[in-house]
Structure 1
Amino acid sequence: MAVTFKWLTRLFLLLCVLGLGAMAIAYYFASRSIPDFNQNYTVDGLSGPIEIVRDNHSVPHIFAQNDPDVYYGLGFSHAQDRLWQMLILRRTAQGRLSEILGEQTLSVDEFVRRLDIYNLSSASFQYQTDETKTALKSYSDGVNAWLKVVQSDALGRGAPELFLFSPQIAPWTPTDSLAVMRVMALQISNNLQDEILRAKAALTVGNERMRDLMPDSPNDAVMALPEYASLFENPPRSFSPQPTQHALHPIKPREFAGASNAWAADGSRAARKAPLLATDPHLGLSAPSIWMLARMEFSDGGVIGATIPGLPFIVSGRSDDLAWGLTTTYLDDLDVYVEKLNPANSDEYLTPNGYKPFIKKRVIVDIKDQLGKTIDMRWTENGPVIPSDSFDLGAITPIGHVTSINWTALREQDQSVSAGIRLMRSKSIAAARNAVSMHHAPGQNLILADKNSVALQVVGHMPKRDPNHASLGRIPSQGWLIQNRWLGDFPFSENPNSVNPASGVVANTNNKITDEKFPKHVGHNWGDTQRIKRLTKLLNARKVHTRDSFMEAQLDPVSYTARSLLTLIGRELWFKGEPAASGTVERQRQIALELLSSWNGEMDQHVPEPLIYTAWLRNLQQRLIADDLGPLSKEFYKVQPVFIERVFRDIDGASKWCDILPSSEIETCVDIARIALDAALLELSEQYGSSIDSWRWGQAHQAKHDHQVLGNIPLLSWFVNIRQDTPGGDNTLLRARTAGKGAEPYANVHAAGFRALVDFADPESSLYIISTGQSGHFLSRHYDDLAQLWRRGEYIPMTLDPELARSGSDGVMVLSPRAQP
């Protein structure tokens, strides 16, 4: 026995030594790809030296003797810090994720291939400006220069992920950057899912009740619509539960399309008599962040701000003369069409001029460790055909029909990258507005400030529809009817805008921006009806503003929604009855109501009230709709504040949602509010214990900065995911949108990955932050060094003064041109 124990001990120690050795070897090879920012390189493709100064937060400041080399330096810097992120974005655009990730991403590849994103991007190169063509080529040369350094110096394949997946990397091309731009357009739009869901809801409860569930903003009556069922013979009425989309799918769930806040004040509303601007775009959280900070020094001056690795320009930032921020417009730039097949020949579909053959193309999607899958791609005059198993399209597509989409993001002539570069180089609001006239998609609200003025400009091509369009673009329509076809685009001059308004302030939180009627309506579905109320209050509370007051608004955690809805849903429950016995359901309810009755709506991470409120509203909505919608109710998993308000104010008889149909009794809204609160408290007690005083919003509302590929792999997830307790909520200006479903329904999954504050009275005091760190390498100290600052609502300064950038540098790298033979 003693001998056995001795040998088992030796074996255990040997295994420990081997394990530690393996970990040391893995760490050595993985850490080889962490760049040395003090290393100099001789590279191909330069006309002169480039100096890349990294400040103490690893923000690259790029100096060169000519503009093409500046773009080269940005490409080199992006590849150094975010190579894996860039490769994944490129594979997403190409529809080639399954080659390395297997069958789990097959649906992503199939969808993207059917849109033909990559080929459209390749064809669009010819339509870019000469400056953009040069920028794209130089940027690509910079990326490829780093790839050559990685190969020649054996720098750990360039990213630790490449030890787990295919290390083969094709050179970066201008097409890759153009394709990344289209992927970002896909991520920001929710029109496809919205039309499908609206049709499914119409089939389930009809148009009248859909007015409650998916109301116009703000609370206007729904424009006259045909019943979806009346458009087609025998439309299907059975719906399949929507599977969870892979994190890399470019089309995000309807509730998590892009959002943002941005506002600006001119000198009349600024304490120091110079314009101010604040911006914080909202996208899904990830590690690393989609954003990377950078400064580019051109021959006519510097530009600094947020970039997206893969794109050769600063997406949101400032120069000495101009600052700009972006919010999602929710522009209705996509229509879903139901196309009728020829009963005698399924290779043909009906058009206004009779049956016509589909345009067809066959491609093979390669799948890791499996045979590839052949897909047959088809196009109609309206656009690509989307198969019925995508987004549950089969649920709204009658037999003998297929579905296609028309989308401004799918045009060969797209010049959006050229627009981005021209905007970055603009010196005034007038020049900026002229620059973005070239922008196709995605639709955005551009908030602008220069040294004297402020403006809001809607950018993106606005489709011109026939006033007699059958569905007004709100639900899928018959593709063979001429009145449903687009009539081109409105001229850019008709895009909504506001320049130097009398109020001195322009602002947008994805709220409704125009009262124009269809077809000049911009969109039916607006992304916010709540945050704008709070922002308006804060901006109007002061006659003049400072950078600090803008910061206060940007980080404001008070929920206008909580303040307005709690008085409605709890008005018959406050202070009712004698104190109940300890430990009873009634006592838990009384404690919760006592807390909420004195709560000011601040979504503070350290208190229980935000958690009780959020859980109550979530349970309440499901109880209101579950019996009416059946399985479809699962698709309305995010609380709709306007719907709740309509129900509890009984607008147009909306209180009928409170009655549970299968029940023999007639339930009131007070009954449902009480039942939902009890259910929420039971749920939270099971998760966090029975003592309400010990609950904390931040414990449930952790920001999930997860690695999109490695984040679900045991053990590795500990290294690559970043989790933090956070304040804010779904409808606060400090937006921190909850998941709404799954094992962590209150987790913060969609927030401001980038924030900026610009003060033209002292531009060098402007502030910036991103949600993780500059590096995409999880072993780098810059992988998460900005995350805690972001969580605490802090910022970092970024200067356009070259000497200040060099004085606090973390490294200075020089790229020298290789001598020509």
Structure 2
Amino acid sequence: MFTLFRWMVRLVTLALVALVLVGLGAWYFASRSLPDYNASYSVSGISAPVEIVRSTEDVPHIFGKTDADVFFALGLAHAQDRLWQMTVLRRTVQGRLSEVFGAETLKTDELMRRLDLYGAAVKSVAAQDEQTKAALEAYARGVNAWIEQVNKGALGRGAPEFFLFKADIAYWTPADSIAILKLLAAETASQVQTEVLRARVSMLGQNWVKDILPDVPGAGTAALPDYASLFPGLPPGVKLADAEGAMSPFPPRDFAGASNAIAAAPRRSAAGGTLLANDPHMAFTAPSWWYLARLELSSGGVIGATIPGIPLVLSGRNPRLGWGITSAHVDDQDLHIEELNPADPERYRTPDGWKAFDTRRAIIEVKDAQPVTITLRWTDNGPVLPAGHFNLAAITPPGDVVSLNWTALDPADTSMSAGLALMQAGSVEAAVAAGERYIAPAENLILADEKGVGMVTIGAIPARDPGHTTQGRMPSPGWETVNRWQGRLPYADNPRFLNPEGGIVINTNNKMIDRPFPYNVSFDWGDSQRVLRLTRLMGEREVHSRESFISAQLDTVSPAARNLLPLVGKDLWFTGEAAPEGTPERLRQRALELLAAWDGDMNEHLPEPLIYAAWMRHLQNRLIRDELGPLANEFPHLEPLFIERVFRNTEGASRWCDVMQSAPVETCTDIARISLDEALLELKAKYGPNIESWRWGDAHEALHDHAVLGKTPILNWLMNIRQSTSGGDFTLNRGLTSGTGANPFANVNGAGYRGVYDFADPDSSVFIIATGQSGHPLSRHYDDLSDLWRRGEYIPMSLDPDLARAAAAGITRLEPAAPDDK
């Protein structure tokens, strides 16, 4: 027995030693990919020495003799810190994820191959101006120079993820950068999802759609046809939602692009200089989408937010001009039902008769599985989409297919050239002129120069026939001429507001203009609530400062809560005698007492935001579940305009309060009370009986998860960044909740970047991203900015070269390689 015990001890000890050795080996090889920011490299592709001066936050300040050398160094810096992220983004748009991740991503690859965004990017290279081509080529050389350094120096394959997923690291090309810009169009797109959802609700009859998907208040819209009447062969009923493929770049409807931007003219500024603040909102990831950088170009310094893979400062400033971006929600996507020839399904109906699809075959390589061959089909209206995406099968007549027309598919997309011209513009007028070449994704460009401010929508807006069957709001018959795009609206017709009388321009993805179809830009906007709060904050002061703009960015008061609570609870406040302690009635009374004294601040330390959010969630579900059935799952977030219509009984909308399957007629007060009780019981079970101890931040954690390893046990602890946060779905400091799953209040989408630019003292401008500059989990820069971001703090970034060098934490020097070294 003693001998057996000794052998067991030896085996356990040996196993522990082996485990430690494996861990040390993994750490050693992973740490090899940490870049040395004080190194010098001999590289081919530059004309003269280049310096990459790193700040203590790992922000590169790049100095070179020529613009091409500077873009080369930006490519190298991006690759040093985010090579894995860049590779995954490129594979996503190419439809080549399954080569690395297996069958899990096959559905996403199939969709991306059918859209062929990458093919459009390859063709778009030739459409760029010569300056932009040179910048793209130099940037690609810089990325490739780092890949060569990794290979030559055995630097851990460039990122630790490459040890877990064996994949070749292909060299970068100019088309890759254009493709990632097109990928951003997918990340901010929602018109397809909205068209399909509107059609599906329309098919239920009863005109539910006007309530649950209402127009943003403004001029009314002419009545649309019932979707089912357009296609008599369409089967009735509702199909359950399709799950999109893993790592799909297309977000659910509620998660499409959002953002805030403000600009104030000198007369509205306390210090006498223009002000600009911008915080684009995207899905949280680790690392962030955003990467801070400063470039010293021949036109002057440029500083702000880039996205690895793209050689542009997308939001930032130069010495004379600041710019920010918000999603414009232009209706730049249309779905078309394509009727197939019954005698030959390889032909589809056009205004001129039957026509053959443009077809080609594509092979998708799949890790640990056989390759999959698919047939790609294109119509005059665009590519044919798989029926298994976007719930298209639910709205497609039997035997027909659906095609997509989308501005991002333009094979002569000059958005990259427009972005580079913007970086070099010295005035609002020059920036507006640069925007004419911008195609997709459509953005509102908010501008501030030394004298004034402005805003213009950049991006192609489709020209539609006034007789369009559905006005682009639902899929339409693709064979009818009136439903086909007729080019683009002139850029001069894009919304623009230059040097307004009030001296301030704002945008929160809100409705900006009220023009009749087909000049309306969009029917579906990204915000109807945040704009109310921002308008109030801007009007409360005669003049503003950098600090007041920061305060607006970080504001966590919900206008939706302030508007809805008095409306929904008007018959519940302070009614009846105090109920005994421990009863559901007493819990409800205490919750109503707290909410009555609450100012709508979605503060992480308070119980009221949690009570409000849970109440509205249960209320909306009760209102829509019996009318919409399974389609109710397509509305996981609060729809404030819908709730307001119901409780104001706008056009008879209070009918939603009556439960259709029950004999009694329920009132809206009944549904409000029942929903509150349900919400409180749920919260009590999860957070305990003491209502005062509940915290919004416990439910509203920001989830900055690694896109690939975020769900892997043990590794997720290393890769994911979690933080208790304030804010909510409709606050300026937006923290969009997940809406589904075990924690529907988790914060999953918000301001991954914030910048405030003050032209009274430009070097006092401040910036922050949500995670850190590095994508390497062993780097101290992986999450070093995340706590600052959570606390609402920023870092200064100056265009003064002496300041950059004086505070340098590391300087990478690039030397042109001698001929023999090339």
TM-score (norm 1): 0.99
Secondary structure of 2:365's match? strand
Give SS of 1:446's match: strand
2:618 matched to 1:619?
Answer: yes
Q: Which amino acid aligns with 2:290?
A: W
Contact 2:243 2:389 in 1 (8 A): no
Q: Give TM-score scaled by structure 2 length.
A: 0.99
SS at match of 2:314: strand
The residue that corresponds to 2:97 in the other structure is: 97
Tell me, in whole angstroms, the C-alpha distance in 2 between the residues paired with 1:804 and 1:27.
35
After superposition, residues 409-424 of structure 1 pair within 5 angstroms as 409-424=408-423
| Deviation (angstroms), 1:6 | 3.4
Verify the 8 A CA contact 2:735 2:749 in the aligned structure 1: yes
Cα distance, 1:703 vs structure 2: 0.2
Q: RMSD over aligned Cα, in angstroms? A: 1.0
Hey, what does 1:546 align to over in structure 2? 545
CA distance in 2 between counterparts of 1:17 and 1:205 reads 68
The corresponding residue for 1:757 is 756
- The separation in 1 between residues aligned to 2:28 and 2:692, in whole angstroms, is 47
Within 1, Cα distance between the matches of 2:592 and 2:14? 60
Query: Does residue 1:654 correspond to 2:679, yes or no?
Result: no
Question: Which residues of 2 match residues 179-258 of structure 1 at below 5 A?
Answer: 179-206=179-206, 208-218=207-217, 221-246=220-245, 248-258=247-257
Does the 8 Å CA contact 1:136/1:174 hold for their aligned counterparts? yes
Name the amino acid aligned to 1:16: L
The residue that corresponds to 2:327 in the other structure is: 328
**SS of residue paired to 1:384:** strand
Determine the structure 1 residue equivalent to 2:387.
Answer: 388
Distance (whole Å) between structure 2 residues aligned to residue 387 and residue 31 of structure 1 = 42
Contact 2:106 2:245 in 1 (8 A): no
After TM superposition, the structure 1 stretch with the greater mean CA deviation from structure 2, 627-636 or 231-240, is 231-240
Q: Deviations over 1:248-274 (max 9, x none)?
A: 211111110110000100011001111
Further displaced range: 765-774 or 371-380: 371-380
CA contact (8 A) 1:239 1:392 kept: no
Gaps of 5+ in 2: none
Name the counterpart of 2:315: 316
**1:77 aligned residue:** 77
Shift of 1:543: 0.3
| Partners of 1:337 and 1:477 within 8 A in 2 | yes
TM-superposed CA distance for 1:219, in Å, is 6.0
SS in structure 2 at match of 1:29: helix
Q: Determine the structure 2 residue equivalent to 1:143.
A: 143
Runs of 4 or more, structure 1, over 6 Å off, are none
Matching of residue 17 in structure 1 with residue 17 in structure 2: yes
User: How far, CA to CA, are the matches of 2:388 and 2:547 in structure 1?
Assistant: 50
Residue of structure 2 in register with 1:128 after alignment: 128
Q: Counterpart amino acid of 1:154? A: A
- Superimposed CA distance per residue, residues 119-176 of structure 1 (whole angstroms, 9 cap, x where no aligned partner): 1111111100101100000000000000000011110000000000124111000111
Written as runs of structure 1 = structure 2, the 5 A alignment for 1:485-504 is: 485-504=484-503
| Alpha-carbon distance in structure 2 between the residues aligned to 1:12 and 1:600 | 60
SS in structure 2 opposite 1:204? Answer: coil
Shift, 1:579, TM fit:
1.6
Aligned to 1:29: 29
- The answer on whether the counterparts of 1:647 and 1:655 sit within 8 Å (CA) in structure 2 is yes
What letter corresponds to residue 691 of structure 1 in structure 2? Answer: N
Give the Cα–Cα distance (whole angstroms) in 2 for the partners of residues 462 and 523 of structure 1.
Answer: 9
1:157 match: 157
Q: Identify if the C-alpha distance between structure 1 residues 453 and 812 changes in structure 2 by more than 3 Å, giving closer, same or farther.
A: same
Mapping 1:519-598, distance limit 5 Å: 519-598=518-597
Shift of 1:88: 0.2
Determine the structure 2 residue equivalent to 1:466. Answer: 465
Query: How far apart, CA to CA, are the structure 2 residues paired with 1:145 and 1:230?
Result: 59
Indicate if the aligned counterparts of 2:306 and 2:312 stay in contact, CA closer than 8 A: yes
- 2:767 matched to which residue of 1? 768
Return the offset for 1:692.
Answer: 1.1
CA distance in 2, matches of 1:686, 1:242: 30
Aligned-partner Cα distance in 1 for 2:366–2:236: 34
SS of residue paired to 2:324: strand
Q: Could you say which residue in structure 2 is the equivalent of 1:723? A: 722
> Higher mean Cα deviation, 579-588 or 72-81?
579-588
Q: Distance in 2 between matches of 1:168 and 1:522?
A: 43
Residue 121 of structure 2 aligns with an amino acid whose one-letter code is S
Give the Cα–Cα distance (whole angstroms) in 1 for the partners of residues 222 and 212 of structure 2: 14
Contact kept in structure 2, 1:759 and 1:765, CA below 8 Å? yes
Q: Structure 2 counterpart of 1:782, which letter? A: H
What one-letter code is carried by the residue in structure 1 that aligns with 2:502? Answer: S
- SS of corresponding position for 1:704: strand
Give the total of aligned pairs. Answer: 820
1:638 aligns with 2:637: yes
Q: Deviations over 1:329-364 (max 9, x none)?
A: 100011000011111111111100011111111111
SS, match of residue 488 in structure 1: coil
Q: Equivalent residue of 2:402, what SS?
A: strand
C-alpha distance 528-238 of structure 1, shift in aligned 2 (>3 A): same
- 1:803 equivalent in structure 2: 802
> CA shift at 1:582, angstroms?
1.9
Q: Secondary structure at the match of 1:367?
A: coil
Q: Give the residue type in structure 2 aligned to 1:6.
A: R
1:400 deviation in Å? 2.3
Q: Any residues of structure 2 matched to 1:340-359 within 5 Å, and which?
A: 340-359=339-358
* Equivalent position SS for 1:336: strand
* Alpha-carbon distance, 1:634 to partner: 0.5
Q: Measure, in 1, the Cα distance between the counterparts of 2:137 and 2:299.
A: 21
Distance 1:143 1:658, change over 3 A: same
1:247 is displaced (CA, Å) by: 5.6
* Secondary structure of 1:487's aligned partner: coil
Q: Is the 8 A contact 2:108 2:246 kept in 1?
A: no
Q: Counterpart in 2 of 1:172? A: 172
Contact 2:104 2:246 in 1 (8 A): no
Letter in 2 for 1:775: S
> Are the counterparts in 1 of residues 301 and 318 from structure 2 also a CA contact under 8 Å?
yes
How far the C-alpha of 1:585 sits from its partner, in A, is 1.2
- The separation in 1 between residues aligned to 2:701 and 2:372, in whole angstroms, is 39
For 2:122 and 2:425, the matched residues in 1 are separated by: 26
Structure 2 distance, partners of 1:557, 1:13, is: 54
Does structure 1 conserve the Cα–Cα contact (< 8 Å) formed by 2:275 and 2:758? yes
Distance of 1:558 and 1:745 partners within structure 2: 20
TM-superposed deviation, 1:243: 4.3
Partner-residue secondary structure (3-state), 1:465? coil
Give yes or no for contact 1:303–1:424 (8 Å, CA) kept in 2: yes
Native 8 Å contact 1:281 1:327 kept in 2 = yes
Check the 8 A contact 1:211/1:222 in 2, yes or no. Answer: no
CA distance 1:303–1:582, change in 2 (3 Å): same
Instruction: Name the amino acid aligned to 1:770.
Output: I
Map Cα deviations across residues 276-330 of structure 1 (whole Å, 9 max, x no partner): 0010000000000000000000122100000000001111100000000000110
- Quote the offset at 1:669 in angstroms: 0.4
**Partner secondary structure for residue 316 of structure 2:** strand
CA displacement at 1:21 relative to structure 2 = 1.3
**Letter matched to residue 627 of structure 2:** D
Distance across 1 between alignment mates of 2:312 and 2:633: 40
Partner of 1:781: 780
> Deviations 1:689-722 (Å, cap 9, x if unpaired)?
2221121000000000000000011110000000
Structure 1 match to 2:817: 818
Deviation at 1:220, TM superposition (A): 5.1
- Classify 1:243/1:228 alpha carbon distance in 2 versus 1 (closer, same or farther; 3 Å): closer
Pair 1:683-2:687 in alignment: no
Whole-angstrom CA distance in 2 between matches of 1:719 and 1:244: 28
Structure 2 counterpart of 1:513: 512
| Aligned pairs (5 A) from 1:104-115 | 104-115=104-115
Relative to 1, partners in 2 of residues 1:353 and 1:246: Cα closer, same or farther, differing over 3 Å? closer
User: Counterparts of 2:650 and 2:809 in 1: how far apart (Å)?
Assistant: 60
Superposed counterparts of 1:355-394, under 5 Å? 355-394=354-393
* CA contact 2:80–2:146 (8 Å) conserved in 1: yes
1:9 & 1:785 partners in 2: Cα distance? 42
